[in-house]
Structure 1
Amino acid sequence: MLAMKALDSGFSVRRRMPALEKTAPSVCAVVLNWNRPDHTLECLDSLLPLIQKRQLALVVCDNASSDDSIDRIRAWAGRHFHLQTDSLARLLGDSEPSSEWDFLLVQTGANRGYSGGNNVGIRCALGREQCEFVWILNNDVLVHPHALDALLACAQQNSHVGVFGSTIVDYYRRDRVQMAGGCRYQPLTTLMNPVGGGRSLNEVLAGEADVPLDYIGGAALFCRAEMLRKVGLFDERFFLYYEETDLARRARARGYALRWCQQSLVYHKGGVSTGGRSSVNRKESWRSNYYENLSTLLYTRKHHPKLLPMAATLRFLGKSLVYLLRRRLRLFSALMTAYRDALTGRQTVVPTTLPEPTLLASGSVLRRLPGRKRVEPMDGACYSVPRPEERGRFRVAKRLLENLHR
């Protein structure tokens, strides 16, 4: 019996979990950061116990942050891993990183968006020996301690499923669900309906687990490596938004199913890096609105071309009405620019040339030697010293040796 207790909340839910095989599948998590180190480090702290138990490897990609993100993430890693760094950063394009790592820190070289930045990390994960699953996580999530166990149990029972989604819980209201695995999507109206959104967590967990999904929410995607190798990675034309919708559609076209893993809990803040609207972020950014509208049109053109004229018209009218009612007139320019760029085939705020990603650091989990206490000085080296009870035995042995030499 596995107890699923929500962090810092007053309720608990118990579910019977099938026993995992002794040899758990190899899982690699990918976390993308862009100018939000506080949220990223909180996410990494929630993953650390899984890494230390050797259930998980981790790739952190930074999308050319302009703040101190790299220094802070590297300092965090230095406290928890044996780090290896090159004097001149090694380009991933020249040679693949060794599979003997538990942690990678990669600089993507530019702001490649959600799809491009995560693709860099996914390629590193797929290059790891015996990687069976890639867990793509937003940097503004915290994972429940048993979230990964639940996902692995679901994966063992559902070999036909290519992408699993967790129960996404509101980080700030932990009795409320943002979505149960993913969403339903209406291609004509371009409206998304999060399954179970706004309902209580206890109600959602007590309900039916087998629900129809059109795509898995991008905050937490648990993908079979086999599926990614066959279907491909994120389509980088979707800089922000719709990349997970497109991936789900391509996966289903290749015969893979989507499934909600009911007992896997992930706590999501929402809108941290994208500037999108959330429960705590009522101000939507120009950039977020631009890419939301642009990606909607690109997705419709790619997968529902016959619906494009009607869908584009309905969306333009609907968005215009929303902006008027909410008095967000400044966002009209984002809407107009997105429609212009969708028609002309160009995108705003995207670099024309992208430098190669750079591997900044790789590391392995610090292991404590039997009977020894680990000492980690500021220079990042790791030494092992005798415990107090051992020092007494060493002094006795030293005196015996001295007596023998007299």
Structure 2
Amino acid sequence: MKSPRVSIIILNWNGWKDTIECLESLYRITYSNYDVIVVDNGSKDESIQKIKEYAKGDIKVSSKFFTYNPYNKPIRIFEVSENEARDGKFNRPLYEKYDVNKRLILIKNKNNYGFTGGNNVGLQFALSVLNPDYVLFLNNDTVVDKEFLTELIKVAESDEKIGIVGSKIYYYDYKGRSDIVWALGGGGVDLKTGRAWHYGISAQDKKVYKDTNKIGYITGCSMLVKKDILIRLHGFDDAFFSYYEDVDISLRAKSLGYRLSYALSSKVWHKVGATSGGDSVPFIVYIKARNHVLLVKTHGNSLNLILAVIWLLTYKHARRFINFVFLQRNPRLLIHYYNGIKEGLLRY
């Protein structure tokens, strides 16, 4: 029986160095039926050119996780404009002539549409042109194990009600170590406060292994999604732009009757915060606060919303205050935090 077809979508925004390391690790996987789609989200650096140079074999990727492979170069790049991607224009017969590890689809978006919009362009293209059974959303600042996709598919195919599967994600570098778990595929969600958190390796979190019904969401860092879900939900909700979009789509998938699950033998290493810059960036502070409120408004009730705002202005605010004022010495970040809460309340 032929393996299910998987379209792997990687979003790049001014991060070509991370992207080519991710690509080099992907082209070493053992799974045999996949497509690699890089969506450049309106990068202002030399990302497009550098990705092309990598594909030609002009840039030799160095990584502590693998040895560079010169034998699958050059990789044939199929460039697709944003308009062509949205219209489904593509020379598939020519594309299919190349081996899976010697071809790359590069979609060039005109602007930065965020995690949601950028991935949705790639998703629309994949569904209309490649007809995959699954779509895998993978962060560009990751490196994957050779068996990671094989293990994801094993879990996904084990039960027809499983709709989304996540990988076991390690820190790429945690004080020189690469064996420290960042997230077990996803985490929990508490709509009473809007809080979402990663499941790690604590005794409490390990209980989730035995009862996957307790999984609240699968992280978008490495998220394998059944095609039917993406068609019915029309992909990610663009209102989120970035952050909490993975929680939102997980909750919406569960509302359709699908289950979430982990593939704990699927290993991915993640450069945490490499793409966004973390909580020192004003926009990140703003969007996290805004989307926190937006998530509760979308999936909770009025009481949930009141409790979530109280939580944001008390417990969460105290932590933000200490971080921004005393640790980062940048109290102006609090303004962006307040504006995010306000915008979340006023939206819709």
TM-score, normalisation: structure 1: 0.71
**Hey, what's the Cα distance between the residues in 2 that align with 1:177 and 1:261?**
14
Q: Does the alignment pair 1:27 with 2:6? A: yes
Structure 1 match to 2:305: 308
- Render the CA deviation track for 1:29-56: whole Å, top value 9, x for unaligned: 00001111111111111111239x7432
Q: Does the alignment pair 1:288 with 2:284? A: yes
SS of the residue aligned with 1:167? Answer: strand
Pair 1:229–1:94, CA change in 2 (3 A) = closer
SS of the residue aligned with 1:148? Answer: helix
Q: Unpaired runs of 5+ in structure 1?
A: 1-21, 278-283, 347-406
- Render the CA deviation track for 1:287-319: whole Å, top value 9, x for unaligned: 111110011111111111311122112112223
Q: Does the alignment pair 1:156 with 2:157? A: yes
Q: After TM superposition, give the deviation of residue 242 of structure 1 in Å.
A: 0.9
Structure 1 match to 2:133: 132
Q: Does the alignment pair 1:120 with 2:121? A: yes
Pair 1:125–1:25, CA change in 2 (3 A) = same
**RCO higher in 1 or 2 (8 Å CA, sep ≥ 6)?**
1
Over alpha carbons, which structure has the higher Rg? 1
Q: Which amino acid aligns with 1:291?
A: I
Q: Which amino acid aligns with 2:271?
A: K
**Hey, what's the Cα distance between the residues in 1 that align with 2:87 and 2:130?**
19
Pair 1:287–1:84, CA change in 2 (3 A) = closer
Structure 1 match to 2:191: 187
Structure 2 match to 1:363: none
**Hey, what's the Cα distance between the residues in 2 that align with 1:194 and 1:165?**
12
**Hey, what's the Cα distance between the residues in 2 that align with 1:331 and 1:180?**
30
Pair 1:151–1:97, CA change in 2 (3 A) = same
Q: Does the alignment pair 1:174 with 2:178? A: yes
Q: Unpaired runs of 5+ in structure 2?
A: 58-73, 96-102
Matching of residues 217-256 of structure 1 within 5 Å: 217-256=219-258
Q: After TM superposition, give the deviation of residue 249 of structure 1 in Å.
A: 0.9
- Render the CA deviation track for 1:177-218: whole Å, top value 9, x for unaligned: 11112110112223223112579xxx97x9945442100011
Q: Which amino acid aligns with 1:63?
A: N
Q: After TM superposition, give the deviation of residue 93 of structure 1 in Å.
A: 3.6
- Render the CA deviation track for 1:49-71: whole Å, top value 9, x for unaligned: 239x7432111011111111111
SS of the residue aligned with 1:131? Answer: coil
Count matched residues. 313
Matching of residues 261-340 of structure 1 within 5 Å: 261-276=263-278, 284-306=280-302, 307-326=304-323, 327=326, 328=328, 329-340=331-342
> Is the CA contact (8 Å cut-off) linking 2:39 and 2:108 kept in structure 1?
yes
SS of the residue aligned with 2:33? Answer: coil
Q: Does the alignment pair 1:91 with 2:92? A: no
Pair 1:96–1:275, CA change in 2 (3 A) = same
- Render the CA deviation track for 1:86-118: whole Å, top value 9, x for unaligned: 8x9863344432444342111121111111111
- Higher percent of residues as helix: 2
- Picking from 197, 214, 217, the partner of 1:215 is 217
Q: Which moved more, 1:189-198 or 1:214-223?
A: 189-198
- Render the CA deviation track for 1:212-233: whole Å, top value 9, x for unaligned: 2100011000011122112220
Q: Which amino acid aligns with 1:293?
A: A
| Percent identity of equivalent pairs | 28
Tell me the C-alpha RMSD between the 2 structures.
2.5
TM-score, normalisation: structure 2: 0.83
SS of the residue aligned with 1:24? Answer: coil
> Is the CA contact (8 Å cut-off) linking 1:31 and 1:59 kept in structure 2?
yes
**Hey, what's the Cα distance between the residues in 1 that align with 2:345 and 2:299?**
16
